[in-house]
Chain A
Amino acid sequence: MRLSGHAVEVVYLIAAICFILALKGLSSPRTARRGNLIGAVGAVVALVAVFAAKSSDFDHVPAILVAIGVGAVIAVPAARRVQMTQMPQLVALFNGVGGGAAALVALLELAAYSQTAGARHDLLNQAAIAFTVLVGSVSFSGSVVTFAKLQEIMTTRPVILPGAAPLLLAGLAVSAGLGTGVYATANPVLGVLLMIAALTVGVMIVLPVGGADVPIVISLLNAFTGLTVAAGGLVLQNTLLLVAGTLVGASGTILTRLMAAAMGRPVTGVMFGALRGGSTAGSTAVSDRPVRTAGPEDVAVLLAYARKVVVVPGYGLAVAQAQHTVRELAEVLEARGIEVLYGIHPVAGRMPGHMNVLLAEANVPYESLKEMDEVNPEFATTDVVLVVGANDVVNPAAKTSPGAPIYGMPILEVSGAQQVIFLKRSMRPGFAGIENELLFDPKTSLLFGDAKDSLTKVLGAVKDL
């Protein structure tokens, strides 16, 4: 079967509709899974159309099929086996390779195009090529650095090289100059240089970002890759790439802004805050100020005789895989007539909505999960707040210390409750590297240890009461 050009365009339209329905479906819990499947179907349909449409100068089909097979063999096991805690960095990596692929496609088009450029001088095309190479490369190297930070191959803290700000400006200027060169001359050598410069800029942009800001960077780079693919669509005169890339770019931008708004700071503050100075150094020092520690039995008594308990989960919950234990504990408390809610900070964990995914895995009822705005007024009538492996999202420094990197971020105001219990591995500060005053508050007790072990002991103690 060989499809005509028009037939392929129609198939592309169908695939584009699939992608719109996919995003629409993903916006609601009931339709999300079906939405994702519709998106996958759209992708398969479009891919089949490309092969079916093969024109006379389309060759190398076996090699291409092998390449697709190799990609699938790499991707499927990685996606199937990844731990829930490592999902954010996997998504970052998938995003990065997409951006890298788009940049390579544009480079090849530039090489092909430069041989025929004498006949046709198309500035829109050359601008689109320059944009794709530039932003795709930034997205690739930025995502790789994000991956390294989240995988803790490198430090999770902001890395500020001496002279970082001027270097970044210089890198941007060089990239802009090379991009203009590609735009004006369609010279492939300039294209390769542009790619190298943009890869460097991507590293320099993400290095100074640290702490709780990383999820926003993942989302922003995702939007970048979307725009790159859209520009790739302009380069190849391919409407499907244009529409799909634009959809992702636009929805990714909205998502990034929603997340930044949830943290109470502009996106530019997230990206460049560290370069402007201000205290981002954080501290790894373990404080020796006195804290009140509690045993599992003490915690069990506090919980069992409360009327209302709010659980605040954080990354420690994910690391310890404690989501099932926390749900069991909540059920035992509910059986005693205690009201149990979960207070979910928008950026708890390493990815927006990370906690919701984890707790959903443990079958925690949807209605018990309260967003920040819903749960903050509840703390005044709450007897006990159980903070499981969270730190920055309840740190009052966000309200009281203008110098802190998280200053201005809305927090869960757990200090309004009667009692606060922290389950922590150690006194080490959170991801953002700032000490939490709340730990030294007289109403706070600390239970040290792995969140799952601690919760299991507390659960046993509550059952024995």
Chain B
Amino acid sequence: MSGVALLTIFVLAVFVGFEVVSKVSTTLHTPLMSGANAIHGIILVGAVIVAGEAHTGFELAVGLLATVLSTVNLVGGFVVTDRMLEMFKGRTSRGGHR
């Protein structure tokens, strides 16, 4: 893919990123940060690709280390965010309170 095409995708994604979180309430700052944190764990895809294409034992070891680290980021991120949000659910189910 050409550099310009990648740059186009980058710039558009910047605007989308600004747009989707611009009106978030402070209540959700922590879960939003944690959820965004989980999303960048998708570097797992990159780690799997480089590990799969490794030619030497050393390259494979580094690739697998990257795979473990990014899995921790991705899986842990989504699980911990879900745990935070579980608590919010408890409150909304009591809807009629006050």
Contacts and interface: CB of A to CB of B under 8 A. Distances in A.
Secondary structure of the A contact surface, majority rule: helix
Contacts of B28: 26-29, 32, 353, 356
A22 B40 CA distance: 12
A97 interface: yes
Contact of A67 (B20, B35, B37, B51): B51
B75 A72 contact: yes
Interface string B39-53: 111111111111111
Contacts of B67: 64, 67-68, 71, 101
B14 A250 contact: yes
Interface core residue of B21, B30, B50, B64 (most chain A CB under 10 Å): B30
B40 A108 contact: no
A352 B26 contact: yes
A420 interface: no
A321 interface: no
Interface string A89-109: 011001101101110110111
Q: Which of B27, B35, B40, B70 has the most CB of A within 10 A?
A: B40
A229 B43 contact: yes
Interface in B58-96: 59-60, 62-92, 94
A232 B65 CA distance: 16
Contacts of A30: 92
Contact of B79 (A35, A79, A226): A79
Most buried by B among A59, A91, A109: A91
A60 B36 contact: no
A389 to B, nearest CB: 18
Contacts of B63: 60, 64, 104-105, 108
B6 A262 contact: no
A88 B69 CA distance: 18
A133 to B, nearest CB: 12
Nearest to A46: B45
A245 interface: yes
Contact of A254 (B22, B27, B30, B47): B22
Interface in B8-30: 9-10, 13-18, 20-30
Contacts of B82: 33, 36-37
Contacts of B73: 75, 94-95, 97-98, 101
A314 to B, nearest CB: 15
Interface in A353-385: 353-354, 356-357, 360-361, 363-369, 371
Interface of A: 15, 19-20, 22-24, 26-30, 32-33, 35-37, 39-40, 43, 46-47, 50-51, 54, 57-61, 63-64, 67-68, 70-72, 74-76, 78-80, 82, 87-88, 90-91, 94-95, 97-98, 100-102, 104-105, 107-109, 111-112, 124, 218-219, 222, 225-226, 228-230, 232-252, 254-255, 258-259, 262, 344, 346, 351-354, 356-357, 360-361, 363-369, 371
19 contacts: A20-B20, A29-B27, A29-B92, A32-B28, A39-B39, A40-B78, A67-B71, A94-B41, A102-B66, A109-B50, A230-B10, A241-B43, A251-B18, A251-B32, A254-B21, A352-B29, A360-B27, A365-B91, A366-B27
Interface of B: 1, 3, 6, 9-10, 13-18, 20-55, 59-60, 62-92, 94, 97-98
Given A36-B81, A90-B80, A353-B27, 16 more contacts: A23-B21, A40-B38, A43-B41, A58-B52, A60-B60, A79-B75, A80-B83, A94-B38, A95-B40, A98-B37, A100-B69, A102-B66, A105-B66, A124-B3, A229-B40, A242-B9
